[in-house]
Amino acid sequence: MKFFSLMALEQAAADAATATGAEGAVPAEVGFVGTLISLVPMILIFVIFYFMLIRPQRKKEKKVQEMLKALKVGDRVSTIGGIYGTITNIKDDTLELSVGRDNVKLIFARWAIRQVEDVAIENDSEVLN
């Protein structure tokens, strides 16, 4: 078996085209190999993007959706705006949070919750669990 480089195949195609008198005629096998070789880098780039960008983002979105579905009354949460509070009421896609020492009631959309807090946060008036 002989292995030819792409340049050798192109040279053979050019020689065949001049021998037959046809300008620009390329054998089918050379055209296929050239097309295949030009597609390989694009396929590799897509595979790299998938494993480095798309797949991790999907995992993160799935984890966030599971966290939002698992919210319950009494959970300590932080919002995307940086407000810490305790869930006092859940109604469809809205949550009522009790915030601060005066237990001010604020209503947020479910998607506005960043995370459920597990760490104790010390405040002037109370210690949050």
pLDDT digits (tens, 9 = 90+) for 42-73: 999 999 999 999 999 999 999 999 999 999 99
**CA dist., res. 90 & res. 119, Å (int):** 22
Strand ordering across the sheet containing 94-99: 104-109, 94-99, 84-91, 76-79, 113-116
pLDDT of residue 67: 95
**In 1-129, which ranges are E strands?**
76-79, 84-91, 94-99, 104-109, 113-116, 121-122, 127-128
Specify the amino acid at residue 101.
Answer: R
Element (H, E) at 48: helix 28-49
Q: Residue 13: pLDDT band by 50, 70, 90 thresholds?
A: low
Which of 19-28, 35-44, 51-60, 97-106 has the weakest average pLDDT?
A: 19-28
Q: Please provide residue 2's backbone torsions phi and psi, each rounded to the nearest 5 degrees.
A: -110, 135
Q: Please provide residue 15's backbone torsions phi and psi, each rounded to the nearest 5 degrees.
A: -65, -40
Residue 124 has pLDDT above 90, yes or no: no
**CA dist., res. 26 & res. 9, Å (int):** 10
Which of 6-15, 19-28, 69-78, 84-93 has the weakest average pLDDT?
A: 19-28
Residue 86, C-beta contacts closer than 8 angstroms, at least 6 positions apart: 74, 75, 76, 77, 97, 98, 128
